[in-house]
Amino acid sequence: MCELLQIIRIAGFALCAVAGLTAVLSANAYCKKNGINMNTFEGVFELYRRVFRFENKRLSILMLSTTYGGAIVMAGVVAITFWGQGQGCDFHINRLAR
């Protein structure tokens, strides 16, 4: 059971990493195409203004599902970690402390 939980944890982290990278690269391409400077606060606010107005539906769905879906997946990973540790699994979270 502990091996399965470890695989689920790693898959959750990998899913969030891939989704986050996809969202950042898509947002960067969108900003370059529309002349928005993503390196400033005004540029990021402009990007998210367009995301929340659904001016580009694909980008909006990608950004919002990555933001909120990633948070839900990470909360699930934390819950699985604590539950597994309660069942006696040792996930070696902090290897430096050993």
Residue 92, classed as helix, strand or coil, is coil
Rounded to whole angstroms, the Cα distance separating 79 from 63 reads: 24
Average pLDDT value for the chain: 89
Which tens digit of pLDDT belongs to each residue from 60-77? 999 999 999 999 999 999
This prediction's pTM: 0.77
Give residue 53's pLDDT band: very low, low, confident or very high (50, 70, 90): very high
At what angle are helices 57-86 and 2-34 packed, to 10 degrees? Answer: 160
d(CA 64, CA 22): 12
Mean pLDDT throughout 28-47?
A: 93
Contacts of 74 (CB under 8 A, 6+ apart): 12, 16
Half-sphere exposure of 87 (CA within 13 A, CB side): 12
pLDDT the model gives residue 94: 64
Residue 98 pLDDT greater than 60, yes or no: no
Contacts of 87 (CB under 8 A, 6+ apart): 1, 2
User: Would you say residue 95 has pLDDT above 80?
Assistant: no
Nearest 10 degrees: CA dihedral of 74, 80, 84, 89? -40
Q: pLDDT value at position 46? A: 94
